[in-house]
Structure 1
Amino acid sequence: MANCKLPQNTDRAGRRQELEKLGLGDDVDLYVYEIPVEYQAVQRLIPALWKKHSPQLVVHVGLSGMATTVTLEKCGHNVGYRGLDNCRFCPGSHCCVEGGPECIDSVIDMDQVCKRVSDLDLEVLVTISKDAGRYLCDFTYYTSLYQSHGRSAFVHVPPLGKPYSAEQLGRALQAIIEEMLNVLEHSESDINCDHEH
């Protein structure tokens, strides 16, 4: 099961429709939600979605106006949130979870996912990042990582046409999510094998 947080802009529908059209195969239930660019909405919706679906993995997708590649974020950060959201609100604590760890890494090996997707030659450049930006994307990612004990991922995408089309981004997201699920499945198999011995 994958959950995608789609960016708040005029081209979000193109990416969402493309991913929904492509799907993730018969064995994967894909639920797509749009999460408002609001701190309080994130704090309310992320736990509710985890409770409702109990997914294997949640993949958030956010727009970065500065991005020229599809970027896999390795971790989410707890502190440093000072920018106002769409409701002109910012948490007084400037953090996601008071008393939470400074940084939470995804259980997904993003280096491995990046290499595998790059080897598919999808004509989309995929890169890695350790800083999702200390705004709503990073806030959402950390909140989801905290809620899921690391079973979340975040992908930053560039604006449509700069340089990729909705179709190219949809195919890239499909491949990325499939590889993330493969990596997660293999890592869980390894853990189960280790416990049997």
Structure 2
Amino acid sequence: MTTILLTGFEPFAGDATNPSGDAVRLIAERWAGPETLVSEVLPVEFAGASARLGALTREHSPDVVVAVGLAGGRTGLTPERVAINLADARIPDNVGDQPLDRPSVAGAPAAYFATLPVKAMTAAIAAAGVPASLSHSAGTFVCNHVMFTALHETAAAPGIRAGFLHVPYASENAPDGASSLPLGDIVWGLEAALRAAVDSPVDAALPGGTLH
């Protein structure tokens, strides 16, 4: 039985909600398989989020890991292609940690490519009628840190697919003037991405592994 680990994030930076966490909860409520879905909403904390993701990965031995976070200002869902080994925070996390020019994992490679079929996921989201594009930067905040952690945790197990996907604000709670999508569309797009993450071949043009 295939196991999927799906994570979102709690609210941060003064927001009352976080569409990544809200969407993950909704997907978990209506998940009908056939895969086993393990889901959790992570804290927006550099140390706490990476520790919890690592613990979940070791506990459940998932075949697919998809972490989801908010990228305010984006107009659609954006699978991420690369995680870099850098924590450089513009604002503090939810416990006040604000690393500057710090590696996510000391001694690890400079970057990891996602091992998810990110092009197929992007195409599947778009085919579901939800705006989507492939992204080449997950930033340097907790989202990138979690993506790097997921890829580092699974690097020794080449059969595991792992990566990250950003979502925009949900229209129901978006700041005035911010780009957004209805939460239902975000959920629909994420479900399409999960199906592609499980069923699609890894992108032929996308190298897996590390960058040095």
Give the TM-score, by structure 1 length. 0.83
Q: What is the percent sequence identity of the aligned residues? A: 22
Runs of 4 or more above 3 Å deviation: 11-14, 90-93
Per-residue CA distance 1:57-107 (angstroms, 9 max, x = gap) = 110010111111101101111024244211111347611111111110012
State how far apart, in whole Å, the 2-side matches of 1:16 and 1:45 are.
Answer: 16
Gaps of 5+ in 1: 188-197
Instruction: Figure out how many residues of one structure are paired with residues of the other and give that number.
Output: 182
Report if the CA contact (8 A) 1:2-1:57 is conserved.
yes
Deviation at residue 43 of structure 1 after TM alignment: 3.1
Q: Distance in 2 between matches of 1:169 and 1:89?
A: 29
Q: Which one is further off, 84-93 or 103-112?
A: 84-93
Separation of aligned partners in 1, 2:25 and 2:105: 33
What is the aligned partner in structure 2 of residue 177 from structure 1?
Answer: 194
Q: Is the contact made by 1:160 and 1:166 (CA closer than 8 Å) also made in structure 2?
A: yes
Q: 1:41 to 1:17 in 2, by over 3 A?
A: closer
Q: Counterparts of 1:103 and 1:29 in 2: how far apart (Å)?
A: 29
Distance 1:136 1:21, change over 3 A: same
Q: Does 1:115 align with 2:123?
A: yes
2:10 aligned residue? 8
The question of 1:42 aligning with 2:59 is answered no
Q: In the aligned structure 1, how far is the partner of 2:170 from the partner of 2:194? A: 19
Per the alignment, residue 195 of structure 1 pairs with none
Could you tell me whether the CA contact under 8 Å between 1:59 and 1:152 is conserved in 2? Answer: yes
Q: Does 1:32 align with 2:30?
A: no
Q: How does 1:105-184 map to 2 (within 5 A)?
A: 105-118=113-126, 120=127, 122-149=128-155, 151-161=161-171, 162-183=179-200
Conserved 8 A contact 2:24-2:41: no
> What CA deviation, in whole Å up to 9, does each residue of 1:81-138 have, x standing for no partner?
24421111134761111111111001223123222432x2x22111111110100000
Greater relative contact order (Cα < 8 A, sep 6+): 1
Structure 2 Cα separation of the partners of residues 157 and 35 of structure 1: 15
2:88 aligned residue: 81
SS in 2 for 1:6: strand
Tell me, yes or no, if the aligned pair for 2:124 and 2:192 is still in contact at 8 Å. no
Larger helix fraction of residues: 1
What is the aligned-residue RMSD (CA, Å)? 2.0
Letter of the structure 1 residue corresponding to residue 146 of structure 2: T
Deviation of the 1:11 alpha carbon: 4.6
Cα 1:163–1:123 change in 2 (3 A) is farther
The Cα of 1:5 is off from its aligned counterpart by 2.1
- Aligned-partner SS, 2:125: helix
Distance 1:81 1:123, change over 3 A: same
